[in-house]
Chain A
Amino acid sequence: MKTDHDIILENVSFAYKQNKILEDVTLFIQKGEFASIVGPNGGGKTTLLKLILGLLKPDQGRIRIFGKPPAQARQKIGYMPQYAPLDMNFPATVMDVVLMGRLAEKTFWFSKKDRSEALAAIDEVGMTGFAATGFNELSGGQRQRILIARALCSRPAILLLDEPTANVDHETEVNLFSILQALNLKMTILVVSHDLGFVSKYVKSVICVNRKVVIHPTTIMNGLLIKDIYHGDLKMVRHDHRCSHEGHSHD
């Protein structure tokens, strides 16, 4: 059973100074999952991602990625950080940025294979022909796609995206999620998003994070639950239950 799970968190707690960000989180993410992580600001979404990436260490509990501690599994995780305003004069082409995803401990110079993998990743996000364009000449949505290509370039088995649709228009958002949907055929995807109503059309599950973590398969999201979520009123979803690997069960 457990071998089907790419990501396993067991009784994980994390506090920043005195503030408990995540408390007793148990979460099983299946291979091939496409889940959206939702929740209020400061609820612990980014903390959850950083724990999975091994950038943060849990105070309690255990995290396993492909059965290994996160730091050892990192090479198989593609990560797209939250959009940060970059220096508009940063001298990098699209190719330069995507190639960064190929840097590894022993890579000093990029090989032909690195370049062809980078070009393939650029194709995959629908940005063919942009390799030589300056990164700072792109629109917000195009940059997000290039940052996804950078994450793809290392051929990951899991893709983590932190707010890829912040600051982009609806059309770009649709575009991004259809790209992700295609990628999901090959890899497990977790995406932090604000816009649950929109995202639930694409994803298989919704992970609600607000100190506690609850996973809802979108297939059972009907009636009251889906209505509540569509209205964006996340507080209406009962969060006093614990999730198990069968989805979630109410105590």
Chain B
Amino acid sequence: MITGAAMKATAMIEAIQALLDPDNLFLRYALVMGGLASVSFGIIGTFVTIKRIGYLAGAISHSVFGGIGLAIFLQVNVGLSWFDPILGATLAAVISAVIIGLVSLHAKEREDTIIGTIWAVGMAAGILFIDRTAGYFNLSSYLFGDILLISKKDLIFVSCLDVTVLGLSILFFNRFFSVCFDSEFMSLRGLNTSFFYLLLLVLTALTVVLLVRIVGIVLVIALLTIPSAIASFYAKRLWQMMLFSILLCAFFTTAGLLLSYTLSLSSGPTIIILSGATYLTLLIFHKWIKN
């Protein structure tokens, strides 16, 4: 126990030193990015959790890869240097969110099959675009995240998306809440529930893009749902669940980033293992207490 605590202390000191090192600008960017993105993640993750659309969010995040592939292809082969991968990711995420939303609203029996298809086709399209692009691309940095890729531009992008997500969530708080709770009843009250459902999915898509840089396409979904799943153990009201999710998400990204830096591990997987292990431990603890 003592050695464990001592190790933690040394790790903390190392991490603080690393932060102060001017060569480690990327680490500061990553931490700021994680903190900023946590706002959107906590809010949207809570809606995703209570509406139980984690599977849809998974499909959206994977289809993002198609957009990244397309962007790289256009940059290198067509010479559209302004077509940044994050722009491709955003476009792909929003388009797939709308398609997936319409499918889940209208194609009742085949919903899971169609969504599974979009999931796989998005990934496959990304790989094929990259196949047709000259040069070497480190695929795993998109799949599992790479904090070295984060730039100042990303921080501005994250801040803009944060403001959008936060603004819309505040304005439509009661609508999103009611649509998640009982969509049929709300359509009887004269609300356009399909619109709010699609808007929620589009916001989910934008939020997913936020953290693809840090944790990657494959892992992003866990960071979206785990903090709110933990928060749901303790929160009685929606806003409490959101606030707690934001704090948890910020904690997991910060702690995970510092841990991965000091232990020389990949940042995305470290964050996910940390949050996943916390969730599973608490889940077992809560089940055990109940029995």
Chain A contact patch, size range: 20 to 34
State how many angstroms separate the Cβ of A105 from the closest Cβ of chain B: 5
Q: Which of B177, B187, B190 contacts A96 (CB 8 A)?
A: B177
* Given A81-B184, A91-B232, A92-B181: A103 in contact with B191 (beta carbons within 8 A): yes
Does B118 interact with chain A (Cβ within 8 Å)? no
| Cross-chain contact B238 with A75 (CB below 8 angstroms) | no
Q: Is B1 an interface residue (CB 8 A)?
A: no
Task: Determine the chain B residues whose CB is within 8 A of the CB of A101 once the complex forms.
Answer: 189
> How distant is the Cα of A107 from the Cα of B178 in the complex, in angstroms?
12
B236 within 8 A of A: yes
Q: State in angstroms the CA–CA spacing of A30 and B182 once bound together.
A: 30
A91 touches B50 (CB 8 A): yes
* A66-90 interface code vs B (CB 8 A; 1 in, 0 out): 0000000011010101000011011
B182 touches A55 (CB 8 A): no
Cβ of B181: which chain A residues have Cβ within 8 Å of it?
A: 86, 90, 92, 97, 100
From the candidates A75, A86, A110, name the one contacting B174 in the complex (CB within 8 A): A110
A188 within 8 A of B: no
Counting CB contacts under 8 A, is A181 at the interface? no
Per-residue 0/1 for A97-121: is the Cβ within 8 Å of any B Cβ (1 yes, 0 no)? 1011101110111100000000000
A235 to chain B, nearest CB (A): 32
Across the interface, do A91 and B174 meet the contact criterion of CB distance under 8 Å?
Answer: no
Quick check: A100 and B185 within 8 Å, CB to CB? yes
Whether B189 pairs with A109 at a CB distance below 8 angstroms is no
Q: Across the interface, which residues of B come within 8 angstroms of A97, CB to CB?
A: 181
Report the nearest B residue to A105, measured CB to CB: B190
B170-194 contacts to A (CB < 8 Å): 171-172, 174-175, 177-178, 181-182, 184-191
Interchain CA distance A115-B198 in the complex, whole Å: 29
Residues of A within 8 A of B232 (CB): 89, 91
B50 x A55 contact (CB < 8 A): no
B145-188 interface bits toward A, Cβ cutoff 8 Å, 1 = contact, 0 = none: 00000000000000000000000000110110110011011111
Given contacts A108-B171, A108-B172, contact A103 B188 (CB under 8 A): no
Contact with B along A217-243 (1 / 0, CB 8 A): 000000000000000000000000000
B10 interface hit (Cβ, 8 Å):
no
**27 A–B contacts from the bound complex (CB under 8 Å):** A55-B184, A55-B188, A74-B189, A75-B190, A77-B188, A81-B182, A81-B184, A91-B50, A91-B235, A91-B236, A91-B238, A91-B241, A96-B177, A96-B238, A97-B181, A100-B174, A100-B178, A103-B174, A103-B178, A104-B189, A104-B191, A108-B172, A108-B174, A108-B175, A109-B174, A110-B174, A134-B236
Additional A-B contact list (5), CB under 8 Å, known A92-B238, A103-B178: A74-B189, A92-B181, A100-B185, A103-B189, A108-B174
